[in-house]
Amino acid sequence: MGSQAVNNGPIPGLQVIITKKVLEHACKIHNKLSEESKDQDRAEHIHSLLWLLKECGVQDTFGIVDVHNHFDVPCGFHLVTKIEGHQAGKTCISTQLAQDEDLKSRELCGHKFAYIPGLGWYAYEFRLGTLLDTNEAYTKFISRFSKYLDKHNITSLGLEYTIPQLSEIQVYETVSKTQQKMDLKEFSEFSELPNGLRWVPTCWRWSSKSEDTMSPMVFCGIDPDTGDHDPPKPDPPKPKDLINNVYPILGQLSLP
């Protein structure tokens, strides 16, 4: 793959305005992504790619994402991430479906980008915001990033065009396949993550709080038994547990 040519042209959704054709491509690309992350690319190359962000001076603009999906996007729709507000002082974000026909090009930009070897970068999720300037620093970084992926045959890592307000915030993501949406909530300590799921990092950014810290910033919850992204359903109560909950005194008696 290292011999394939890299398309260094302006990227739709990042440096070129979004059209409905871009959204159609995004839907197709999104639905072809793996439902599970690929650990082999992540472990070896995340560190080098984050240093590349720092070296090119774009660490406040971009992050590295694990390219995967949670459900298929219906034809005529695309995924948009936006800040919903704050709850108990913590930021709440959601990623939901939006109709292509409601596109307002001046208000939307790409959020997550997948690299297609030999073809270039394509947005598969979007956010509210403005396009990047087509300056030399961004162009040089994207070229070097693309060549690195080609050289090392990496297809499971992509690019995040970071929402500025979230650049230093860690969030955890829960998925509802039935509602076809993702909810992301801010947390400050790993111990605050909800129990019952295995939490894996899916986005990494350079932390400006420390010269030596490169932090996972988004965690995705996976059922440790099924691998499903939906929150696990609680087990039905056992007969004695039910008695203990409803009739504490009777719960002290032995069941026949």
Report pLDDT digits (tens) over 141-190.
999 999 999 999 888 899 999 999 888 888 889 888 889 999 998 876 55
On whether residue 55 sits in a domain, the answer given is yes
On whether residue 45 sits in a domain, the answer given is yes
The predicted pLDDT at position 203 comes to 93
Rounded to 5 degrees, φ, ψ at 141 are: -60, -50
Q: Give me the domain span that covers residue 88.
A: 20-252
The predicted pLDDT at position 189 comes to 55
The predicted pLDDT at position 159 comes to 97
The predicted pLDDT at position 64 comes to 95
The predicted pLDDT at position 236 comes to 40
Is the separation of the CB atoms in 208 and 68 below 8 Å?
no
On whether residue 1 sits in a domain, the answer given is no
Total number of domains in the chain: 1
On whether residue 6 sits in a domain, the answer given is no
* pTM more than 0.85: no
**Residues lower than pLDDT 50 in the chain:** 1-6, 191, 231-256
On whether residue 88 sits in a domain, the answer given is yes
On whether residue 34 sits in a domain, the answer given is yes
Q: CA-to-CA distance for 252 and 244, rounded, in angstroms?
A: 8
Count of CB atoms within 10 A of residue 156's CB?
21
Burial class of 167 by CB neighbour count within 10 A (0 to 12, 13 to 18, 19+): middle
Name residue 157's beta-bridge partners.
Answer: 66
